[in-house]
Structure 1
Amino acid sequence: MAMKPTLQRPGGLPASASTSVVTPIMPSVVYASDTPDSLDDQYEGRSSGYTYAREGHPNADVLGQRIDLLEGCEDGVVTGSGMAAVSAVLLGLTKAGDHVVGGNQLYGRSLRMMTEDLPRLGIATSLADPTDVASVRAALRPETKMVVIEVVSNPTLRIADIDGIAELCREAGVLLVVDNTFTTPAAIKPFEHGADIVIHSITKLLAGHSDVTLGWVGAKDPELTQRMRVFAVTTGMTPSPYECWLAERGLMTFQLRFDRAQATAERLGAHLAGRQGVTRVLYPTRPDHPDAARAQGLLKGQGGNMLSFEIEGGRAAANAFAHAADGIAFAPTLGDVGTTLSHPASSSHRALTPEGRSAIGISEGFFRVSVGLEEPEALMATFDAGLEAAGQI
């Protein structure tokens, strides 16, 4: 008796009267439709669904919706990395002949895109000091399409005059793009301060465990979002379903992690400020911060989990400090559950000349710290060990 042939992929899931509490991982690259007509309905907006994972998948949508709620917008785009989100803005919304103004202390790869890649494509760029509206105004041209800033700069933690720049952009008819990775929506919601577009590297504090590489970008104007989405799909900026799932899990504890790390960062900053060999400490809530008044008004006491400090002794002392700070990962990242230490002169800003780094306040003894979830006392003791080693050079 001939056996009935079976299909390799019969489709469908077992029926259940209950539903999953945890979002399932859905790695399917393709999704089946009933008929050509039903596929037309999806592509033409009469029904919703998925077709091909590069164009969108459930895990990305679940994650995107959660970040949309945090930032106060709708239908943001999840991308394969933070720089993919930056690229979706800078390349998806500009063309040859346009001009872009960027903050002069953007993330290193953002600066590279501004100074090397965009000009190569015929898109002119200028850098300006985002703490000074007059500097940004002087950089504007008739062909300027957008201004790109970070609320708190990386790594010197200067505070942008986002309200003043937003007003300037409105007057000039220019888009304001804000990278909110450093500050996160727990500290500030840029859309409430006049931003047109907000960017995140989800990789950092939102996901928070150094095990995903993802980005997000959202806009007030749905037409801008759609343009960025189309560019992201066309250029293959597809996020992994598994990484989206991990990031969604990380978001569940985001506020708890932010609060704990922020409290520790403030204590660590105060501790370092009193130590021999430390020439300066940069943390937004400190009264000696160069933008203290603006930080207080803008961030409302939220200093975040990032701080920077400088030690005497140059590169030799920096090597000694990093080696002796046992248990602190020396790694160019931020937002992990563990504290990480980075040295901008040898990592994020190594492409700048020593003179260029000096101009923005980065020396060989300058460190950036992403504070994690360790006990504050243990963290301070580890930093003291590093300072003791550095002091012996």
Structure 2
Amino acid sequence: MKNEKASVIRPDALPHSASRPVVTPLSPSVVYASDTPDMLDQQYEGGLQGYTYSREGHPNADVVAKRLDRMENAPFPGVMTGSGMGAVSAVLLGLTRSGDHVIGGNQLYGRSLRMTSEDLPRLGIATTLVDAGDIDAVRAALRPTTRMILVEVVSNPTLRLADIAGLVDLARESGVLLVVDNTFTTPMAFKALDAGADVVIHSVTKLLAGHSDVMLGYVAARDKALNDRLRVFAVTMGLSASPFDCWLAERGLLTLELRFERAQRTAALLADHLAGLPGVKRVLYPGRADHPDTLRAKALLKGRNCNMVSFELDGARHAANAFTRAAEGLSFAPTLGDVGTTLSHPASSSHRALSPEQRAALGISEGFFRVSVGLEDPDNLCAIFTEAVSAAVAP
């Protein structure tokens, strides 16, 4: 008699194996089958661990989140999102409502600035942007309706440091949430929740994944109710993370510590090298003694500075164009955290939506560059920058 099961398109589970894979399997399935409606009820109600629909969670997202949870000492499972801005959106839109007020650092990532200054007000959420390193300015911006303060540990792209200790005290005193974007520093240099932040955000796309082939975000809260709200909002709004991107990100995280240590050492060498080149007006690196926040950097980062270096050339757009053309082998691309060194020109990318006057107020000129230092040989990298700077300032 013919076996009826043989005619079913998807009759069986994976083949049984007494051994297990060393590498996490990729699980691209959108849906997961349960045996009975009762079993499905138990999964949704928390009595059974299981997956239902990948927008609500999948194995690869959980594997990556668990690694990041351990790195950030998150007390509850964090939420993976489809991008770093997905994580920012989950926080700003999932934890606020019309009538609330949000304080943001005035040197946030360009899209975060746009969301706080344009999108939130459109939805009835007032915003004020201030210097995150000036506690008096943040205190002065507080209102009875203030719901949260959003800052980056190290700002993008001017590498200024937020006064995290002062912000923690102010947030607790005022009863508002402190949200910290820890993308630049990563948990290798700074653990935001341990420092007293209520919520931590990461663009996993950057140094955490590290290969410019992943688009992911992560967010976790110290309070379970807040964490649950973030998860529900992310699921409802479709901010879900791709299984494949999560699978790639796990691979990247396995080498994070090695990549971080190598890149930050090279960044320190490059910063010192740039400071000695004719035609370079200024260099910004948290590990340098001439950084405007050097004491704060020592207290917060304890010598584990990030892999980012910013500097300003003499000259305007023509110098910037000459520099990128001459920087042979380096990618001029609006990203960071790759294994290869990348160059970013904020005036033409992340901060292009700002007026020249607004950029000038932040210290961003046409000659300003942000460098994400990769894993190249330090001597070779310095030689490339020497040639490129020379070309930029040549008459």
Q: TM-score, normalised by structure 1?
A: 0.99
How far apart are residue 232 of structure 1 and its match?
Answer: 0.5
SS in structure 2 at match of 1:198: strand
Cα distance in 2 for partners of 1:371, 1:11 equals: 48
SS in structure 1 at match of 2:271: helix
1:247-280 deviation digits (Å, cap 9, x = unpaired): 0000000000000000000000000000100010
Structure 1 equivalent of residue 114 of structure 2: 112
Within-5 A mapping of 1:284-323 = 284-323=286-325
Q: Is residue 238 from structure 1 mapped to residue 240 from structure 2 by the alignment?
A: yes
How far apart are residue 100 of structure 1 and its match?
Answer: 0.4
Structure 2 equivalent of residue 216 of structure 1: 218
Structure 2 equivalent of residue 392 of structure 1: 394
One of 260, 272, 275 as aligned partner of 2:274:
272
How far apart are residue 12 of structure 1 and its match?
Answer: 1.0
Structure 2 equivalent of residue 62 of structure 1: 63
Cα distance in 1 for partners of 2:280, 2:64 equals: 41
In structure 1, give the amino acid aligned to 2:145: E
Cα distance in 2 for partners of 1:242, 1:77 equals: 16
One of 159, 171, 174 as aligned partner of 1:172:
174
- Structure 1 residue ranges, 4+ long, deviating more than 3 angstroms after superposition: 1-5
In structure 2, give the amino acid aligned to 1:144: T
Cα distance in 1 for partners of 2:12, 2:170 equals: 55
How far apart are residue 6 of structure 1 and its match?
Answer: 2.1
Cα distance in 2 for partners of 1:377, 1:109 equals: 34
Structure 1 equivalent of residue 49 of structure 2: 48
Moved more, 14-23 or 204-213: 14-23
Structure 2 equivalent of residue 371 of structure 1: 373
How far apart are residue 194 of structure 1 and its match?
Answer: 1.1
Cα distance in 2 for partners of 1:244, 1:298 equals: 29
How far apart are residue 97 of structure 1 and its match?
Answer: 0.4
SS in structure 2 at match of 1:185: helix
Structure 1 equivalent of residue 12 of structure 2: 11
Cα distance in 2 for partners of 1:99, 1:202 equals: 27
Cα distance in 1 for partners of 2:16, 2:357 equals: 66
In structure 2, give the amino acid aligned to 1:26: S
Structure 1 equivalent of residue 333 of structure 2: 331
Structure 2 equivalent of residue 144 of structure 1: 146
Cα distance in 2 for partners of 1:143, 1:180 equals: 26
Cα distance in 2 for partners of 1:353, 1:19 equals: 56
SS in structure 2 at match of 1:186: helix
How far apart are residue 392 of structure 1 and its match?
Answer: 1.2
Cα distance in 1 for partners of 2:159, 2:176 equals: 25
What is the root-mean-square deviation in Å for CA atoms of aligned residues? 0.9
How far apart are residue 193 of structure 1 and its match?
Answer: 1.4
Structure 1 equivalent of residue 103 of structure 2: 101
Structure 1 equivalent of residue 158 of structure 2: 156
How far apart are residue 51 of structure 1 and its match?
Answer: 0.4
Cα distance in 2 for partners of 1:83, 1:391 equals: 36
Within-5 A mapping of 1:113-132 = 113-132=115-134
Cα distance in 2 for partners of 1:304, 1:11 equals: 49
Cα distance in 2 for partners of 1:173, 1:53 equals: 36
Structure 1 equivalent of residue 195 of structure 2: 193
Cα distance in 1 for partners of 2:68, 2:19 equals: 27
In structure 1, give the amino acid aligned to 2:296: R
Cα distance in 1 for partners of 2:301, 2:46 equals: 40
In structure 2, give the amino acid aligned to 1:96: S
SS in structure 2 at match of 1:9: coil
1:270-320 deviation digits (Å, cap 9, x = unpaired): 000001000100000100000111111111112210010001011111110
SS in structure 1 at match of 2:150: strand
Judging changes above 3 Å, is the alpha-carbon distance between structure 1 residues 34 and 293 closer, same or farther for their aligned structure 2 residues? same
Judging changes above 3 Å, is the alpha-carbon distance between structure 1 residues 281 and 18 closer, same or farther for their aligned structure 2 residues? same
Cα distance in 1 for partners of 2:86, 2:359 equals: 26
Structure 2 equivalent of residue 282 of structure 1: 284
In structure 1, give the amino acid aligned to 2:200: V
In structure 2, give the amino acid aligned to 1:218: A
How far apart are residue 3 of structure 1 and its match?
Answer: 6.2
Cα distance in 2 for partners of 1:280, 1:111 equals: 25
SS in structure 2 at match of 1:281: strand
How far apart are residue 11 of structure 1 and its match?
Answer: 2.7
In structure 2, give the amino acid aligned to 1:56: G
Cα distance in 2 for partners of 1:302, 1:264 equals: 12
Gaps of 5+ in 2: none
1:24-81 deviation digits (Å, cap 9, x = unpaired): 0001111111111111111111111000011000000000000001111030000000
Cα distance in 1 for partners of 2:39, 2:115 equals: 41
Structure 2 equivalent of residue 261 of structure 1: 263
